[in-house]
Structure formats: C-alpha cells, structure tokens
Amino acid sequence: MDIVSELRALVGDAGVLDAAEVARRSAGVWRPDNLKAAALARPATTDEVAAVLRWCHAHGVAVVTQGGLTGLVHGADADADQVIVSLERMRAIEDINPIQRTATVQAGVTLQTLQDAVDARQLSFPLDFGARGTATLGGMAATNAGGNRVIRYGMTRDMVLGLEVVLADGTVVSSLNTLIKNNTGYDLRQLFIGSEGTLGVITRLVLRLREKPTTTNMAFVGLDGFDNMAQFLKHMDRSLGGTLSAFEVMWQSFYRLVTTAPAKGRPPISQDYPFYVLVESQGADREFDTQRFNNAMESAFESGLIVDAAIAQSDADCHGFWSLRDDVEQVMHGGLPVVFDISLPIGEMAAFAARVEEELPGAIGADHRLFIFGHLGDGNLHVIVQVKPAVYLAARPKIEALVYGGLKSFRGAVSAEHGIGLEKKPWLQISRTENELAVMRALKAALDPHNGLNPGKLL
C-alpha cells in the first residue's frame, strides 16, 4: 500500500509530503529534532480532511493532527508509520460579524492573524500568549490554551461558541453555533476542546469577540513577600472595578534572567526584590481609567503591599513590560530546561515553591537553576528547572517525581494550560479520579473505537 499516492489522489500532489520531505521539517521551536511520519497530508477543505480520515480509518492508519507545533507536552508527536494531518492550508478568516461579535475561522489561522484582523474593526479576541504568531486557533481549542488574560476572559473554551469537527471515520459534525446562549442539549463542542486531537479533528471555529479596549494601564511592581503579592492581587481586582486584565508574577530568578544579557530586556525596576508583578488594566475612558489605576497603585504603596513600581507612560512601555514576561526562551541558554505548567490554590503556592527549592539539591545536586513565573490570578505557575545537558536524562525523572509528586498534598493539577500529551500521561491520576478516567476512556471508545486519532496521547 502506497500511502502517499493514495492520499495524493484525495487531496492533490501538493497536499501531501512523503516521509523524506516530512523529515526535513522542524518538530517545533522547543524541539531540537525534526518530524517523522509515513506522510503529511495538508488538506485545504473540511471535505478533504474528511476524505483523509475516512481513508486512514478504513486502512488502519493512525492520524496525528498538528497545528503550530508550539506545545510542550509532546501531544503532536507522530511515529514513522502514522499520517500527520496539518491544517496549514486552512488559514481563512471566513467571517467577522461586528454586531454579533463573532469570528468564523478555519483551524489553521494563527492567533496573531485573527487578533490583527479584528483589531482593524475595533474588536478584540483577548486570548493571548507569547506564541501568538505561530499557534493556530484549532490547536489552541484542541489543547484549551490559556495565556495572559485568563483572569478576565477565561480559557479558550470560554471563547469558543461553535466548532466543526471531523470524527475518526470521516464523519463531519458541524456545530457552528454563533449564539452565546444555546441551551439545547449536550454541548458537543466541549467534548473536543481540550481533547488534544484524540476525539476528532477541529476544522472550523466560531469564536466570541469583545469590544476593543481603548485604554491600557500597566505597572511593573516589586514586592518583598508572597503574602503581599496575593493581597496585592485582591487589592487591584477590587479597586479596578472589573477592568483587571492581567496579573503576571515572576520570582526573582526569572526576572533577573530576562533582564540580564544575553536577554535583550532591561530591568524597569531593581533586580533585588524577591517577587515581581506585571499588572494590567484595560478600559474605555483614558482619564478615568488612568486616575483609578494610579489611585489603586498609590494606596498599595501607602498600605505597604508593594515596595517599588514602574508605571507605563506609553504603548512602548507596555510592550516592553510584556516582552519581559514573554521572553521565556531565555531558559534555553546555559542548559536544558525541564518545564512544568501546574495549577495550585493561591494560598498553597509559596509553600509548594519553597518545598521544590529546598528538595531539588537533594534530588539532583546543586548544579541547577530554578525559575518560577506565571499567572497568579489564575492559580497557574510555570516551574522550570534548568540542568546541564550531560545530566538531563538522569535528572528529568527525579525532577518530575519531585514536582508532580508534591502536587497531590497541595491539591494541585499537573496541567494548567498545556495539556497532557505524552509527557504528563503517567501523572494524570494525581489530578483525575479513576471514575473520571473511566468516563474519558468510554468517550474515546465511542468516538474513536479503533484508536486511530492521536493514539497513546492523554489516555
């Protein structure tokens, strides 16, 4: 059976790459290796996606769907005998409705492309994170991506009104709902959001838009204790009357990393504080919003919640603050990172971080670097342990046991926004009960009985 020839008959010669061509493609910005697969199909329409899946289902060939390859949990890895389905040729924004405030898009559209398109119409798609130029909307829905403004707008699943999905056997389920309220039975879209391509291939989406904020106020803040950081969150959220849009935290080690050469960023305030916060408010009345933001900052100073701050005076200042938070790739310099994306109750974060810092030397030795940052208001921390390449393979399982193993007693989750993939599958039972896992397996068996979609991932 010549898989490449069979698939080219379905989607055209330009729509399929053979194994040699696949092997020349990078596996992603976080990966040093290249892709592997028997073939890579690039369908241009939903019907072509359905044809590819129907053929693969009939011939027992497993399918792995890929978007922008910005994931961190090996959720889009394919084996040499599998077919990759890439939505890279499905990049059309089909409709932007400024009255209903929705966008209908194909799954291969990148986040930044949509953001730019709706911005031109004075609208906003507020989901945002550093990989905006590469991450695709279909991939974001499949992994339920989070990002920088979850505190105000929620995760991807909170912004998806409708989906079109192709099931394992090629059946097209088109539920392109444009209504915010549609209480008509099972909400099928939620089955596929966060399912990591194991239940179906998302081909089109209807996304909820918001009115574009016309004002942004930001500050970069230094604090002398974690308790003050948590209280500062409550203070700003209460004081800003619902306009708090981001509350990003950094432990000192990460702040120093992104504000010291070879990083391009420079410190807006001293590097000597134990904790830092990037706080953002978005509104619609420049004079009123600025006064309210400044008043909130002033009262935080007066009450001793914060000890230093740089307040943005321009759009360039805002961009500079965000560039520090987004410069995560600095953790690649000087070693190899073991990356964790976890959720914790805010009240448990300081104790958890302290335990990790205390126990790491005993687990892997003193020659490592620990970086912690994340979305405090969402209960989401990114923990990165950087080690030397020579000890990476030996150290990684010990670090994972320490970080993931410690989560259960703190009532935490092994994944906040990156998904499960292959990497976190052995630890999923920390966050899910046996009965929950049984229901997940039943859904998988019902929608993909031959286990042909992204097999081995998540479950």
pLDDT tens digits along 7-54: 999 999 999 999 999 999 998 877 778 999 999 999 999 999 999 999
Which of these three, 38, 63, 86, is where a domain ends? 86
Which of these three, 211, 239, 267, is where a domain ends? 211
Note whether 99 and 197 are same-domain residues.
yes
pLDDT at 311: 98
Tokens (6 digits) for 86: 């890439």
Q: What are phi and psi of 400, to 5 degrees?
A: -65, -40
pLDDT at 298: 98
For residue 100, is it within any domain? yes
pLDDT at 118: 98
The domain total for the chain is 4
Which of these three, 174, 196, 211, is where a domain ends? 211
Which band of pLDDT confidence, cut at 50, 70 and 90, is reported for residue 411?
A: confident
Q: What CATH number does residue 396 fall under?
A: 3.30.70.2740
Contact of 370 with 385, CB cutoff 8 Å:
yes
Amino acid (1-letter code) at residue 186: Y
For residue 382, is it within any domain? yes
Taking only the tens place, the pLDDT of each residue in 122-180 is 999 999 988 999 999 999 999 999 988 999 999 999 999 999 999 999 999 999 999 99
Note whether 186 and 246 are same-domain residues.
no
For residue 60, is it within any domain? yes
Q: Is the pTM of this model over 0.85?
A: yes
Statement: residue 408 has pLDDT above 90: no
Note whether 75 and 37 are same-domain residues.
yes
Note whether 249 and 300 are same-domain residues.
yes
Cis peptide bond N-terminal to 397, omega within 30: no
Taking only the tens place, the pLDDT of each residue in 83-103 is 999 999 999 999 999 999 999
pLDDT at 29: 73
pLDDT at 183: 95
pLDDT at 169: 98
β-sheet bridge partners, residue 142: none
pLDDT at 342: 96
For residue 450, is it within any domain? no
Q: What CATH number does residue 119 fall under?
A: 3.30.465.10
β-sheet bridge partners, residue 106: 204
Taking only the tens place, the pLDDT of each residue in 280-297 is 999 999 999 999 999 999
How much of the chain, in percent, has pLDDT values that exceed 70? 100
Note whether 258 and 317 are same-domain residues.
yes
For residue 452, is it within any domain? no
Q: Which of 252, 235, 248, 241 is nearest to 305 (CA)?
A: 235
Which band of pLDDT confidence, cut at 50, 70 and 90, is reported for residue 270?
A: very high
Note whether 231 and 313 are same-domain residues.
yes
Note whether 99 and 69 are same-domain residues.
no
- Report how far apart, in Å, the C-alpha atoms of 297 and of each of 142, 284, 305 are: 38, 19, 10
Q: What CATH number does residue 23 fall under?
A: 3.30.43.10
Note whether 103 and 151 are same-domain residues.
yes
For residue 442, is it within any domain? no
Q: For residue 348, give its domain range.
A: 334-434
Separation between Cα atoms, residue 171 and residue 184, nearest integer Å = 21
Contact of 52 with 172, CB cutoff 8 Å:
no
Separation between Cα atoms, residue 443 and residue 459, nearest integer Å = 11
Note whether 64 and 139 are same-domain residues.
no
Q: What CATH number does residue 245 fall under?
A: 3.30.70.2190
For residue 445, is it within any domain? no
pLDDT at 112: 97
Mean pLDDT of 396-414: 93
pLDDT at 163: 97
For residue 454, is it within any domain? no
**CB neighbours of 261 closer than 8 A, spacing ≥ 6?**
none
Amino acid (1-letter code) at residue 443: L
pLDDT at 406: 87
> In terms of DSSP bridges, do strands 39-41 and 83-86 run parallel, antiparallel, or are they unpaired?
parallel
Note whether 80 and 104 are same-domain residues.
no
Mean pLDDT of 253-281: 97
Note whether 191 and 233 are same-domain residues.
no
Taking only the tens place, the pLDDT of each residue in 71-84 is 989 999 999 999 99
Mean pLDDT of 105-111: 98
pLDDT at 28: 83
pLDDT at 109: 98
Note whether 127 and 190 are same-domain residues.
yes
Q: How many helices (H) and strands (E) does the chain have?
A: 14, 18
Average pLDDT, the chain: 96
